[in-house]
Structure 1
Amino acid sequence: MEAGALLRSISWIPIRHLPRRCLPIFPRSLRASSDVQGGYRGPKPKKDWVADWVSNNDDTVRSLPIYVGGLSLLAVLFNRSISGIAPVADASSSQSRADLLTLGLAVTNVLTGLVWLSIRPKSISVVNPQGVTCQRIHYDLPDYVVSELLWIWESLSVATCCRSLIIVYQDNCVLQIGVAAESSINSGDPIIVDTTKLVQGSLYESVMKSGSQSYLANLSLYPARSELPFLPSNTQAVILQPLGDKGIAVIGGDTIRGFTTSDQAWITLIAEKLDSTLSKYSNSLTLATQNKV
């Protein structure tokens, strides 16, 4: 049985019910030509020892102003006690004025250290999506379109923080792969992927109207996340990428601000290629209104 016919025969079936040998395998890495020819012989990048030390001793660096300010206060008091000057500040004395200035600088250092310790950047960690792993492909797609869709998924899942991919074309879902919300997957027969909220929502409308990519770097901050019920509930970031004027790709990530600028530009190029591929068959695809097999 050919690969395309096999893929169509298993379309819209959760991936957990499929034997591993049925899934296409793509190479996850390529060996550089320099490795074959004996390795890289160019100049080696210099190591920034200061930056490395600061990054590895963050707490010490943040506490450093407190130590400096505290030592400065002790030094002023010690100097005042052995200098023979009256302990009461005297505005006419140059030593008193210098001591007051030093005390002000020392207190400023201490306060700066306390602020640095209290204000810390929030650590961003990878989140394990809460959902069910699935693979759903529309049954009426040509063989090489199916291969291109699977290649796009494999590339995004390996090179970026993408963990969920939904492709909607002509208001119908042609691909759902990766981790999906448990409410959108049935352990029995495949069910319909509900894209009604997406197509009729403000997110879809704004993206299609602008014709440009929309990046929701922290999905939890956007009330419109309810328009994406097919994504895991703890999806951290989402890219909404238009496919021409007929479709949209929804890419869910597992890390807040996990998609870099390079990732966004690359996804835009992939979308242009995918739109060109799907548009050739948009008139011949028998996309059922409810995406049934």
Structure 2
Amino acid sequence: MAQSDPNRVLRLLPIVVGSLAGSLLFVNRLFTPELTDSQARSDVLGVIACAILILTGLLWQQIQPRLPDSVELIGKERFELKPGLPEFIQAELAWASHLLLTNTVTRSLVLWYDGEVLLRRGILPDRQEVVPGPIVQRVVEKQKPVYLVALKTYPGKIEFNYLPENTQGVICQPVGKQGVLILGANAPRSYTRQDEQWIAAIADKLEYSLSRKISVGSG
């Protein structure tokens, strides 16, 4: 379901006011039998003011960003952790995923690390298996995140079949050299630069904790 734009009325207001005022000036001019010099000057100023209002409204239509349309993702609310994880890792994953789901536009979240799915949270389908496709593999190899701003326009979207089928935007964030954090949003072009920085910082924190898990396990 598309999300309504709360700024629509605000952007249209200058156009409506300018058009209405201009129409009233025109009607007043028609019904004025004798036009004085002062009234002519007032009419000119009024026409200029109306034109500025209409122009402002037209500019706002182009400049002010519209909220992207959001959809209701297909899936169920889930919170699944890989069995057998140490308690401190479980707590870390629960904390990180909660922050991402409540402080960004993320609605679906999957953490793939060292060949395993450690975490699934948010709106997700029944499919649990994650097979890293070319996009995810490139993220891990290059150690650079990828933001697919409108997933439906990318031919490679088929590799994200472990996310809701109508996911609108995806961020693949590397978690060290062994994993990737895959985030899905319910609206295209909805992640901000601040969101991306926040996600990168949390991924770094997760990598630190997960590398400790490996060190403790090998010791």
Q: Normalization by structure 2: what TM-score?
A: 0.71
Are residue 62 (structure 1) and residue 9 (structure 2) matched?
Answer: no
Query: Does 1:267 find its partner at 2:211?
Result: no
Establish whether residue 135 from structure 1 lines up as the match of residue 67 from structure 2: no
Which amino acid in 2 is paired with 1:63? V
CA distance in 1, matches of 2:153, 2:30: 51
Q: Secondary structure at the match of 1:165?
A: strand
- Between the aligned partners of 2:171 and 2:66, the Cα distance in structure 1 is 22
CA contact (8 A) 1:165 1:251 kept: yes
Determine if the alignment matches structure 1 residue 195 to structure 2 residue 130. yes
* Count of aligned pairs: 203
Distance change (3 Å), C-alpha of 1:259 and 1:72: same
Unaligned runs of 5+ in 2: 1-6, 36-47
Equivalent position of 2:120 in the other structure? 176
Give the deviation of 1:246 after TM superposition. Answer: 0.9
Per-residue deviation at 1:249? 0.3
1:84-103 maps to which residues of 2 (within 5 A)? none
Quote the offset at 1:115 in angstroms: 6.2
**Is residue 167 of structure 1 aligned with residue 99 of structure 2?**
no
Contact 2:13 2:57 in 1 (8 A): no
Q: Distance in 2 between matches of 1:75 and 1:140?
A: 81
Give, in angstroms, the shift of residue 242 of structure 1.
0.2
Tell me which residue corresponds to 2:68: 124
Q: 1:206 aligns with which of 138, 146, 149?
A: 138
**Is 2:157 the counterpart of 1:225?**
yes
- Which residue, out of 185, 189, 200, partners 1:253? 185
Query: Is residue 146–residue 172 contact of structure 2 (8 Å, CA) maintained in 1?
Result: yes
Normalised by the length of structure 1, the TM-score is 0.55
Residue 111 of structure 1, CA deviation: 9.0
1:157 and 2:110 matched: no
Aligned equivalents of 1:218 and 1:200: distance in 2?
18
Say which is worse superposed, 215-224 or 121-130, in terms of deviation. Answer: 121-130
Q: 2: CA distance between counterparts of 1:70 and 1:206?
A: 60
Instruction: Output the amino acid matched with 1:227.
Output: E
CA offset at residue 116 of structure 1? 7.0
**Closer/same/farther in 2, CA of residues 244 and 218 from structure 1, 3 Å limit:** same
Moved more, 134-143 or 265-274: 134-143
What residue identity is the alignment partner of 1:179? I
CA apart distance, 1:142: 1.4
Q: Is the 8 A contact 1:194 1:230 kept in 2?
A: yes
Q: Pairwise CA RMSD of aligned residues?
A: 3.9
The amino acid that maps onto 1:236 is Q
Three-state SS of the structure 2 residue aligned to 1:281 is helix
More strand by share: 2
CA-CA distance at 1:230 after TM superposition:
0.9
Percent identity between matched residues is 25
Q: Deviations over 1:242-283 (max 9, x none)?
A: 011111000112333333322221211111111111123347
Aligned partner of residue 79 in structure 2, secondary structure: strand
Shift of 1:77: 7.5
Which one-letter code corresponds to 1:253 in the other structure? A
Tell me how far apart the structure 2 counterparts of residues 270 and 55 of structure 1 sit (CA, whole Å): 35
The equivalent position to 1:279 in structure 2, one of 197, 203, 211, is 211
Find the structure with the greater CA-based Rg: 1
Contact 2:144/2:173, CA 8 A, preserved across alignment: yes
Counterpart Cα distance in 2 of 1:73 and 1:109: 16
